[in-house]
Amino acid sequence: MRKALTMGACLAVLCFFLLGAGSLQAGSAPGQSQTLIAGPYTIDVTLSQNPPFTDQPFEITVAPHGSNMALSGLVVAEPGLGTDATNLQTTLTPSTTTRGAVSGWLHIPVRGSWQLVFHLDGPLGQSSANLAVTVGAPGAMPVWLAWSIAMIPLLFIAWWVYWQRLYRSRLLREKEQLAETVS
Amino acid sequence: MARPEVYGIRDVSPGVQEEPRRDLGERRLRRISAWFMLFFLFQGQLGATWDREWHAYVGRDWFWTLPHILIYSCVTGAGLIALGVVLGDTVRYRRGRVGVDASSTVPVFGLFHAPLGYIVTGFGALLALIAAPLDNYWHQLYGIDIALWAPFHMMGVTGAFIGTLGMVYIFASEAAIDRQQQRSGRRFLGITALEWGALMSLAGLLNFTLIGFLQFPLVSVGVLRIPTYLLPAIAVGMLCLVASVRLVARPGAATITLVLLFVYTLATELFVPWAIRTAVELQGLLYRIPGRVPFFRWSDALLPLAFLVSALIVDGVAWRRWRQGKKLHGRIGGAWLLGLIITVPAMIFTCCVINWNLNVAQSFLDGPGSVIPLDMKLFAALLAVPVVLLVGICGAIWGADFGDIWRLNSR
């Protein structure tokens, strides 16, 4: 029983640190503004978390640089080379915190390189701009350790099948004894 | 006719006035919990299929996708029920309540006393819950397409498999208690409600295997790539078919399990493509391949056909024994031979159904337009067939063992 409790406690601690590491790193970086050229528009892009962190929602704010042009559009997050994921998108809506700006929220599920593509619409027509970001993730666990943890239940199944064979013999014996008693 | 089973002084006679139960509270607790858990099983399996298709058509955009919510709410629900019954029965055992004794519970760690099925199901749910954040972590590191053969996917799948197996124990032990107390209850097709629950759980186990088996890896032998989906499909298929007949001790049980499986696959196939289309539309998501939209496919709904001939053979053998008045469970020799016989049609038909479903023949080719010589195909067959037959034999032997346990175990 002590062994089982120790093993359970180790797994719980491991899960806690894996999840905890993500939130600690995610909260570490403040937003930083970058200026991009999107055709006729010059825009200031601010990410509420830079670099973004996997599965942590972050806000993208787009403000026209040195003008009051009303912009709309959407942001598409495209996985870069070597990042196994699909495109994600968010619609830009008027920001509640920055006057004249538009914003949207994204949560990116996989670490690695991503391109944020801004599709903008305004009085000067449609245009787009790209911003490369590298999404962070918790530190990688060694593959051998991951498989070792994941295989623990298979050991249980192997033991279970063996124990059930013995249990079946016991049940059949009990039934035969009962039959003899009745007859 | 078959010999009546020996359980006590008088035979089970439908229609005879039964004495009121002294253990009514305990029976109600376990049985109501069991039917709720069966509902969660259906929900989880629907979520699992939906998740598989979501990966294929939409992509895993974050952890809290609709199919994941369906899966993990089911795991949580089933886990909490199992925990509740284990703790409740431990207290009731210590208080000496009627129906909670050594004959209907097993001790765990010297601390808990609970029905075996609830312990097994609870353990499975716990494993699946532990695997969830670890699996999400693995996806964050390595992407959305790591599929089944990632460590924590395997851990979650193993947990779900153990949980479903536990469900069979729960229903079967209650049915065994009824038999021991000589309570016949209402029957449909000669099978009690609790036995129907056990067969539904077995069909769920087989359905769970079908959900995942297309994700199994390909073994590369030179330029050949041999799919390994047959191994889990045959092992669990043979286990479920043989166990069905032994559990219920009636011919026809294997085919009934297959019909229940067909109801699952048909309902799932009716629901999942529609659910994906609706969710994509409502959430404003993009399909992974523009224009590739899911739709109802008979080839998915009819997957259980792969086991039809095997089920009929199992039932045919059982029916012959039944007519001769021989028992259908217990010490019966030749489980391995039955396994060998029923694996042959299952192997052939599984390949045909899967070929229709996915055109797996393409996966034997190294690339588009490659030509594999006949001698190499024969080599692949010689390599694969004995392994599949062996796995089928093992599945049938395990089916016989577990079927007997489910028939007799009241703990």
Phi-psi region of B345 (alpha: psi -120 to 50; beta: other; left: phi over 0): alpha
Nearest to B211 by CA among B280, B264, B257: B264
Q: Please tell me what DSSP assigns to residue A136.
A: B
Residues 187-206 of chain B with CB under 8 A from chain A are none
CA-angle at A29, arms to A27 and A35, nearest 5°: 140
Task: Express each pLDDT in B38-63 by its tens digit.
Answer: 999 999 999 998 988 888 888 877 78
Q: Please tell me what DSSP assigns to residue A53.
A: B
- Tell me which residue has tokens 């016949």: B184
CB contact under 8 A, A175 and B408: yes
Separation CA B150–CA B138 (nearest Å): 8
Is B229 in contact with B363 (CB distance < 8 Å)?
A: no
Q: How many CB pairs under 8 A join A and B?
A: 124
Tokens of B409: 């175990």
Is A88 in contact with A73 (CB distance < 8 Å)?
A: no
Among partner residues B61, B134, B151, which is closest to A109 by beta-carbon distance? Answer: B61
Separation CA B14–CA A179 (nearest Å): 22
CB contact under 8 A, A18 and B145: no
Is B135 in contact with B153 (CB distance < 8 Å)?
A: yes
Average pLDDT across chain A, whole number: 82
Chain A, nearest residue to B409 by Cα: A171
Among partner residues A11, A91, A154, which is closest to B158 by beta-carbon distance? Answer: A154
Chain A, nearest residue to B127 by Cα: A153
B61/chain A closest Cα distance in angstroms: 6
CB contact under 8 A, B137 and A141: yes
- In this prediction, residue A28 carries a pLDDT of 46
Tokens of B364: 């034997």
Nearest to B208 by CA among B339, B353, B51: B51
Task: Express each pLDDT in B328-369 by its tens digit.
Answer: 887 778 889 999 999 999 988 887 776 666 544 444 444 455
- In this prediction, residue B183 carries a pLDDT of 79
- Average pLDDT (A94-110) is 88
Percent of chain A with pLDDT over 70: 83
Q: Is residue B327 exposed (0-12), middle (13-18) or buried (19+ Cβ within 10 Å)?
A: middle
Phi, psi of B372 (to 5 degrees): -95, 125
CB contact under 8 A, A147 and B151: yes
Is B126 in contact with B175 (CB distance < 8 Å)?
A: no
Tokens of A170: 């016991």
- In this prediction, residue B329 carries a pLDDT of 80
Q: Flag residues of chain B having pLDDT under 50.
A: 1-4, 6-15, 359-367
Q: How far is CA A78 from CA A130, A134, B261, B370, in A?
A: 10, 12, 40, 33
Is A29 in contact with A49 (CB distance < 8 Å)?
A: yes
- In this prediction, residue A61 carries a pLDDT of 93
CA-angle at B135, arms to B130 and B139, nearest 5°: 160
Is the ipTM above a cut-off of 0.90? no
- In this prediction, residue B393 carries a pLDDT of 95
> Is the pLDDT confidence value at A22 over 70?
no
A129/chain B closest Cα distance in angstroms: 20
The 3-state DSSP class for residue B4 equals coil
Separation CA A110–CA B143 (nearest Å): 5
Separation CA B375–CA B137 (nearest Å): 45
Separation CA B249–CA B245 (nearest Å): 5
**Chain A residues touching B284 at Cβ < 8 A:** 89, 91
Among partner residues B133, B146, B331, which is closest to A15 by beta-carbon distance? Answer: B133
- In this prediction, residue B313 carries a pLDDT of 96
- In this prediction, residue B1 carries a pLDDT of 42
3-class secondary structure for B371-407?
CCCHHHHHHHHHHHHHHHHHHHHHHHHHHHHHHHHHH
What is the helix (H) or strand (E) element at residue A104, kind and residue range? strand A102-106
CA dihedral B33, B34, B36, B39 (to 10 degrees): 170
Task: Express each pLDDT in A36-90 by its tens digit.
Answer: 998 899 999 999 988 899 888 999 999 998 878 888 899 999 999 888 888 888 9
Residues 207-246 of chain B with CB under 8 A from chain A are none
Chain A, nearest residue to B411 by Cα: A171
Chain A, nearest residue to B134 by Cα: A15
CB contact under 8 A, B139 and A157: no
Among partner residues B6, B140, B288, which is closest to A86 by beta-carbon distance? Answer: B288
Among partner residues A84, A149, A175, which is closest to B145 by beta-carbon distance? Answer: A84
Residues in chain B: 411
Average pLDDT across chain B, whole number: 85
> Is the pLDDT confidence value at A149 over 70?
yes
Amino acid A153 reads: P
What contacts 24+ positions apart, CB below 8 Å, involve B107-111? B109/A1, B109/A4, B110/A1, B111/A1
What is the helix (H) or strand (E) element at residue A92, kind and residue range? strand A88-94
Phi, psi of A132 (to 5 degrees): -85, 135
Amino acid B232 reads: P
How many Å separate Cα B262 from the centre of its chain? Answer: 13
Amino acid A103 reads: S
Task: Express each pLDDT in B294-330 by its tens digit.
Answer: 999 888 888 898 899 999 999 999 999 999 888 888 7
Q: Please tell me what DSSP assigns to residue B307.
A: G
